[in-house]
Amino acid sequence: MTSSFTPFSDQDHAILASYFPVVDGIAALIGEYCEIVLHSLEFLEHSAIYIVNGHNTDRKIGSPITDRALWSLHHMQTDSVSKPYFTRSKGDVLMKSITIAIRNGKQHVIGLICININLDIPISQFLSTFIAPQESDDQVNFASSVEDLVMQTIENTIEEIQNDKHVANNNKNRQIVTNLFERGIFDIKDSINQVAERLNISRHTVYLYIRQIKQDIE
């Protein structure tokens, strides 16, 4: 465990800073009733170096580490994730929390991510975060293999273009390749072969479409 009196290296600071987007991402996913605090263990008296939704506990950047976080730290000799636990904030707000250790290259714990979910709000308010807007129709392929990912993306794209009356029949293959290119599918090895086979066109034709797409972008 890294001592709070040991100055951190530039690499330690960089590791901690790299978790800022993680904090933002968790908050964006779960919503405003989930507080996420990133603690640096360099200075425990003002350890909170990044916080989102601090209104749930009235904390802000520069707040000290909590006694429960310290307790979790001392029980993280090998594990990096605490068991979920329940606490109450100063305003007697019930929170369900978890603490995650951040380690440096020497496997020293240099920081903590504390995730606290406010359980005192009406359940309808909390669940409203997870209700998809009516206009949301984004589709994600949760494939079990790279091959499945490519094939599912190809099939979905073919269906999408085949049903698009604004795309002429003699231009559908090119549009399919264009959409697959925009979705990054050609970054995957051997995907060109799969696309060519599925569309019943040559690999050279797929390469030609891709070259034309890149030229249009430039």
- List pLDDT tens digits, range 75-126: 776 788 988 999 887 778 899 999 999 999 998 999 999 999 999 888 878 7
CA–CA dist 96, 119 (Å, integer)? 7
Q: What is the pLDDT of residues 26-85, one digit of tens each?
A: 999 999 999 999 999 999 899 999 999 999 988 999 999 888 888 877 777 678 898 899
CA-based angle 117:118:122, to the nearest 5?
A: 130
Does position 151 have pLDDT exceeding 80, yes or no? yes
CA–CA dist 142, 21 (Å, integer)? 23
34 forms beta bridges with 117
Instruction: Determine the pLDDT at residue 141.
Output: 58
CA–CA dist 213, 181 (Å, integer)? 8
pTM for the whole structure? 0.68
Instruction: Determine the pLDDT at residue 122.
Output: 82
CA–CA dist 8, 134 (Å, integer)? 48
CA–CA dist 98, 23 (Å, integer)? 13
Q: Which residue has the tokens 């794209």?
A: 157
What strands lie across the sheet with 109-118, from one edge to the other?
48-52, 34-40, 109-118, 94-103, 85-88
User: Taking the mean position of all CA atoms in its chain, how far away is CA 55?
Assistant: 23
Average predicted confidence (pLDDT) for the chain? 87
Does position 153 have pLDDT exceeding 70, yes or no? yes
CA–CA dist 209, 212 (Å, integer)? 5
Q: Lowest-pLDDT range, 2-6, 64-68, 193-197?
A: 2-6
